[in-house]
Structure 1
Amino acid sequence: MNTTPAFYPIGTPGTPWSNVERAQWLSRQARRRSYESEVVSKIKHLGGRFDLEEYGRLEYGDERFPLLAIRSRNWKDNLPVVLVTGGVHGYETSGVHGALQFADQYAGKYPDRANLLIAPCVSPWAYERIHRWNPNAIDPNRSFYENSPAEESAALMRLVAPIRDRVLMHIDLHETTDTDETEFRPALAARDGKPFTPGGIPDGFYLVDDSENPQPEFQQAVIAAVEKVTHVAPADDNNEIIGSPVVARGVIEYPLKQLGLCASITNARYKTTTEVYPDSPRATPEQCNTAQAVAVCAAVEYTLSH
Structure 2
Amino acid sequence: MERKKFNWRQQRTNGEIAFDWFNVTLMAVICFITLYPIWYIIVNSLNEGADAMLGGIFWWPRKFTLDNYTAVFQNSGVIKAFGVTILRTVVGTVTNVLFTAMVAYPLSKDHLVGRKFYMAMGTVTMFFSGGLIPSFLLYKNMQLLDTFWVYIIPGLFNFFNLIIFVNFFREIPGALEESASIDGATDWTIFTRIILPLSKPVLATIALFTGVYHWNDYFAGVIFINNPNLQPIQTFLYRIVAETGSTQMMATAGNITRTTTSLSIKLATMVVTTLPIVCVYPFLQKYFVKGMMIGAVKE
Asked which structure has the greater RCO (Cα within 8 Å, sep 6+), the reply is 2
- TM-score, L = length of structure 1: 0.22
**Higher strand content, 1 or 2:** 1
- TM-score, L = length of structure 2: 0.23
- Rg larger for: 2
**Higher helix content, 1 or 2:** 2
